[in-house]
């Protein structure tokens, strides 16, 4: 099986990967459909179960969407893939700015951010100008934005307003632009297979987030005098820890975090055959991406708490399709640059 896969051309290997992904998705969707049908005929579960089921279906729809989008991106070449991630960055930044109050004086800086910085950054990615695209935002843009703001003649909360805008650009544009940039890393003997690297990063980070989410759901912390704690068993008691930073996240603790890291890293290592890494290298790279991603997710949670909202997006009701996008991609936005630069540094590319 392995030998057969290795003998395929890179294009066929990527196609096989998508074949497997879509196959698994189809299977899961069919099972979900059947379970839903059975549930409708004779309801055997409570309201809480139904809610979780609806959540799961929403997650499945998102996964389908992302998989199809990735497939289109890959099928039409790196140019289209870059454009796709530029669009995601655009929607994410739009959400970020919507929920970070700006003043009239910020208008020109916002125009600069959306219509100049974002396209230029992704253009630099598409043309593989690595030396410029890694410094364009942190050096040039971070100096240009305050200048434009100062020229708007509004000094009130100057530092705070600029920090908001620059942080939004850093996360949504700079972070996101490193995902398509992976397509352009040229490992010797790995030409044409960079799509695997993007898949590796996205899959590993997503695994890490999902595992942590599931653990937090399943083993929610209860005060020690609750009767059912005894019934949870050793694993349950070990995992149901007090949240470490309850004001920021009620589900984050080091035990479930560690477990999420471990599982995602092992999954990453197991996928080393599709990457240019050896087993140990894949483990380390997955670990680096997961640490950056999950910590980034925590940072974005702190920002949301500061704004007093549970989710990014407009007031919870979603009809635009762009709502809550930032919630799904924030971990990736933090993981991508760290992953990209670690890979470049370690392999001397």
Partner 1 sequence: MLAAKLLGWVLLGLVRLLTGAQARWWGCPPKAEQRIYFANHQSHLDLVMIWAALPEELRSITRPIAARDYWANTPMKRWITTEVFNAIYVERGGTPAPAEAGAPPPDPMAPLQPLIEALKSGDSIIIFPEGTRGHTGEPQKFKSGLFTLAQMFPDVVLVPAWIDNVQRVMPKGEIVPVPILCSVTFGAPIALAPGEERRAFLDRAREAVIALRHV
Mapping DSSP to helix (H, G, I), strand (E, B) and coil, where does residue 246 land?
Answer: coil
Whole-angstrom CA distances from 6 to 13, 45, 122, 188, 198 are 8, 46, 33, 16, 19
In angstroms, give the least distance from the CB of 160 to partner 1.
17
Please answer whether residues 285 and 342 qualify as being in contact, where contact means their C-beta atoms are separated by less than 8 angstroms: yes
Q: Does 311 bind partner 1 (CB under 8 A)?
A: no
Q: Does 308 bind partner 1 (CB under 8 A)?
A: no
Q: Does 116 bind partner 1 (CB under 8 A)?
A: no
In angstroms, give the least distance from the CB of 145 to partner 1.
14
Which residues are CB-contacts of 249 (< 8 A; sequence separation ≥ 6)? 243, 298, 301
Please answer whether residues 293 and 209 qualify as being in contact, where contact means their C-beta atoms are separated by less than 8 angstroms: yes
Secondary structure (DSSP) of 283-327: HHHHHHHHHHHHHHHHHHHHHHHHHT-SSSSSTT---SS-TTHHH
Q: Does 90 bind partner 1 (CB under 8 A)?
A: yes
Q: Does 43 bind partner 1 (CB under 8 A)?
A: no
Q: Which stretch binds partner 1 (CB under 8 A): 213-221, 267-275, 295-303, 317-325?
A: 317-325
**What is the x/- site pattern for partner 1, positions 193-222, by CB under 8 A?**
------------------------------
Q: How many CB atoms lie within 10 A of CB 294?
A: 23
Among 314, 328, 342, 349, binds partner 1 (CB under 8 A): 314
Q: How many CB atoms lie within 10 A of CB 2?
A: 7
Among 98, 249, 281, 311, binds partner 1 (CB under 8 A): 98
Q: For residues 263 and 268, what is the distance between their CA atoms, to the nearest angstrom? A: 9
Q: Which stretch binds partner 1 (CB under 8 A): 9-17, 181-189, 280-288, 310-318?
A: 310-318
Q: Which of residues 262-291 bind partner 1 (CB under 8 A)?
A: none
Sites of contact with partner 1 (CB under 8 A): 90, 93-95, 97-98, 102, 104, 107, 110-111, 114-115, 313-315, 317, 319-320, 322-323
């Amino acid at each position: 099986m392995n030998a057969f896969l290795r003998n395929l051309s890179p294009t066929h290997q990527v196609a096989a990967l998508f074949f497997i992904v879509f196959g698994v998705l189809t299977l899961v969707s069919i099972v979900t459909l059947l379970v839903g049908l059975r549930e409708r005929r004779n309801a055997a579960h409570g309201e809480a179960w139904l809610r979780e089921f609806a959540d799961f279906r929403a997650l499945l729809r998102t996964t389908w969407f992302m998989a199809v989008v990735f497939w289109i991106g890959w099928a039409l070449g790196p140019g289209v893939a870059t454009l796709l991630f530029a669009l995601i960055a655009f929607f994410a930044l739009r959400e970020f700015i919507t929920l970070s109050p700006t003043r009239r004086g910020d208008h020109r800086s916002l125009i600069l951010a959306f219509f100049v910085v974002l396209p230029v950054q992704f253009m630099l990615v598409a043309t593989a100008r690595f030396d410029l695209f890694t410094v364009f935002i942190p050096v040039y843009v971070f100096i240009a934005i305050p200048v434009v703001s100062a020229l708007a003649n509004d000094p009130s909360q100057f530092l705070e307003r600029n920090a908001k805008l620059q942080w939004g650009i850093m996360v949504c544009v700079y972070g996101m632009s490193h995902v398509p940039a992976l397509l352009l890393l040229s490992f010797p003997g790995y030409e044409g297979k960079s799509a695997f690297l993007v898949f590796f990063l996205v899959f590993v980070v997503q695994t890490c987030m999902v595992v942590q989410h599931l653990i937090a759901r399943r083993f929610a912390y209860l005060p020690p005098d609750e009767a059912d704690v005894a019934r949870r068993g050793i694993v349950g008691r070990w995992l149901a820890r007090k949240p470490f930073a309850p004001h920021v996240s009620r589900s984050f603790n080091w035990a479930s975090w560690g477990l999420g890291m471990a599982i995602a890293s092992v999954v990453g290592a197991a996928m080393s055959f599709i990457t240019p890494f050896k087993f140990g290298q894949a483990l380390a790279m997955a670990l680096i991406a997961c640490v950056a991603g999950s910590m980034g997710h925590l940072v974005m949670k702190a920002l949301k708490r500061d704004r007093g909202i549970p989710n990014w997006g407009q007031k919870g009701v979603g009809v635009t399709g762009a709502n809550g996008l930032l919630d799904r991609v924030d971990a990736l936005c933090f993981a991508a640059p760290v992953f990209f630069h670690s890979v470049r540094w370690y392999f001397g590319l």
